[in-house]
Chains A and B, each alone.
Chain A
């Protein structure tokens, strides 16, 4: 069965410093992995996705993530945090069997950005 573990429930950074949000996955086959962001009182927005092409995936707003099969990780990074990045971030794996694509969400990491 597929699962994801987000290693930090809260991360706090200063504006202009790097962001690292950690995610480990478990999957019995080559997974599709996603990062979604949810701003307060807003819907979920797709940041980026990995689907077995390049292992380094670039997303919107300067975010990127690297798929590391040997470490079963898909950590999200950004070189320089902006105040507008404050939100909750979800690492997600897709149960892609038979085109089903049910999404399995991590518990979320709340990112705080301080001036």
Chain B
């Protein structure tokens, strides 16, 4: 596609529910990143996928957070048993490969946990 897309654009859920956030990277991009943007914490790295390598999960804040990337393309970020502090904008970015360090961001998913 023309850019990184994310769905849904907005998600409101109740505390304790599970949510799934989806990211479609730019076609052909081998690297995919998830970031979180929240008041007070700014923009923080969550997880990184590169090709078929094991993902770097070092930024995930707790074991309630997980992500997968199927077929080297679409990625899903899952948050289990959501808490109010999970409320944030979740951003996905993709990068074309080792020859470039420019990441292109999607519009984000705004998650609100009531």
Binding site for B on A (CB under 8 A): 32, 34, 36, 42-46, 49, 51, 90, 94, 96, 99-108
Contact = CB atoms under 8 A, between A and B. Distances in A.
B43 A90 contact: yes
B65 interface: no
B43 A105 contact: yes
Contact of B48 (A42, A100, A104, A106): A100
A42 B107 contact: yes
B95 interface: yes
A44 B102 contact: no
A108 B48 CA distance: 22
A104 B50 CA distance: 18
B42 interface: yes
Chain A's interface: helix, strand, loop or mixed, by majority? strand
Interface in B81-99: 91, 93, 95, 98
Contacts of A49: 101-102
B48 A107 contact: no
B42 A101 contact: no
A46 B102 contact: yes
Given A44-B91, A46-B102, A101-B103, 15 more contacts: A36-B105, A43-B108, A44-B93, A46-B104, A49-B102, A51-B101, A94-B101, A99-B50, A100-B50, A100-B56, A101-B101, A102-B56, A103-B33, A105-B43, A108-B42
Counting chain B CB atoms within 10 Å of each CB, which of A34, A44, A90, A108 scores highest? A44
